[in-house]
Amino acid sequence: MSAYEEFLTLGQHLHDRERIALYQFLVESQKARYLENACELENTGTASVQVADGEIQYVLKKGSLTYSARRKGDSTFNENLRQINLTDIPYLRKKRMLRFFAQSEVDVIWNFPLPGNFPQEASSYTINLYPYFDLRYFSNGKGRLLGLLKKLQMNNSEILEKLRVS
């Protein structure tokens, strides 16, 4: 089993460093798929993807991108779990969308992992207050400058390398 496949089964057992490394891995490795999702969103206003044991529905409306998620087979979505406002500058718009897609997939893997050796507690949908692409995540909301310093000090290279090799 590859490291990525294992991460898909860990769910609630993923530690912060592992989730951040997974986010970085997804941003790098899924860029082509995320660009397709971004084009679909730009053209139709909605896009759907499946990851781990969950489904994600993205909605783009008036420059605002949101996602809703549910476990595969469930009838209702957890609505508007995260939202970002997009810019009119095409390059920055796509970049923000790609990071948003990776964040939402990490959130879904965390909440709806594939069945595996790790028992998951039935609970409500959990997300971090600040996404990984926001520097305030790294400073626990105490400012972007402090977040930048802490992000630069963080070392996920070992976990990220395991994911890249898989």
In contact, 105 and 33? CB cutoff 8 Å:
no
Q: Distance (Å, rounded) from C-alpha 109 to C-alpha 53?
A: 7
Instruction: Indicate the burial class of 19 (C-beta count within 10 angstroms; 0-12, 13-18, 19 or more).
Output: buried
pTM of the model: 0.91
pLDDT tens string 89-133: 999 999 999 999 999 999 999 999 998 887 777 777 888 888 888
Given a cut of 50, the residues of the chain with pLDDT beneath it are: none
What number of CA atoms fall less than 13 Å from residue 154's CA on the CB side? 20
- Give the pLDDT score at 163: 87
Separation of alpha carbons 120 and 117, rounded Å: 9
pLDDT over 90 percentage in the chain = 59
Q: What are phi and psi of 71, to 5 degrees?
A: -70, 140
With beta carbons less than 8 A apart as the criterion, state whether 13 and 111 touch: no
